[in-house]
Amino acid sequence: MKQFPGGVWPVMVTPFTESNEVDYRGLGELVEWYIERGVSGLFAVCQSSEMFTLSRNEREKIASFVHQQAKDRVPVIASGHVSDDLNEQLKDILGMVDQGVDAVILITNRLAKISESDDVWQSHLEWLLKRIPEKTPLGFYECPLPYKRTISPDLLKWCADTGRFYFLKDTSCDVDRIGAKLKAVRGTRLKIYNANAATLLESLKLGVSGYSGIMANFHPELYAWLLNNWHKYPEMVEEKLRSFLASHH
């Protein structure tokens, strides 16, 4: 599989009807709205999508719908990896694999409790990797709920060296840490996407592949422009666009 494109990857919201059902008509219109504004991919079924409150069936149906709606235009990735028990996590993951999305994203805080070490985290991931089809592209999301667990550069290198991971939504908000992660995954297929608007420009200079943050739900076209032009118009970006984005993140 070829690598995912750099650019803007919105963390999609889920529209609901007044009767609290998923509004698929609205969801289809939302997919079109994102694509018309120049996004490079879509992250369906994430925290912004209310994944922790959706049923497994709802999560799978949303992912399948978004994938079909966006087909052949932009790649679609999805998570729904929300369960506590490892066996239930495997069901979350395999159910999402069956929806045909372009990658299944693992939630970093699901792989170990807040009090558990990186060794425990890695052993749980190894257990899952043995049971997930090898051809399935995978990624990570450092979701802040129920607690934020960022991946260390050394652990990320181990993950990248497996050859199975393509995507990391980094939520560290720390340019130095992002730089260390970029160095750790250099030469692998894993790409890093910053979730933080305030540090985006500095991280682009270091080599991140794109932006995957909540503000892309409001003005994705501005982030698309930034990612396409930050190196062409440095004065405009430094003085105008960056200050606007940072003040609205």
Tens digit of pLDDT for each residue in 63-105?
999 999 998 899 999 999 999 999 999 999 999 999 999 999 9
In a domain, 2, yes or no: no
pTM, to two decimals? 0.94
CATH for 179: 3.20.20.70
- Number of structural domains the chain divides into: 1
Percent of the chain residues topping a pLDDT of 70: 95
- What amino acid occupies position 78? A
* Tens digit of each residue's pLDDT (9 = 90 or more) over 178-202: 999 999 999 999 999 999 998 999 9
Joined together, the tokens standing for residue 196 give 């933080």
121: containing domain: 7-247
* Tens digit of each residue's pLDDT (9 = 90 or more) over 137-178: 999 999 999 999 999 999 999 999 999 999 999 999 999 999
Phi first, then psi: give them for residue 94, nearest 5 degrees: -65, -35
In a domain, 239, yes or no: yes
CB atoms within 10 A of CB 186: 11
Please report the pLDDT score of residue 236 as a whole number.
78
* Interatomic CA distance for residues 43 and 12, integer angstroms: 6
In a domain, 76, yes or no: yes
In a domain, 143, yes or no: yes
In a domain, 1, yes or no: no
Facing residues of 173 across strands? none
Find the largest Cα–Cα distance for the chain.
Answer: 52
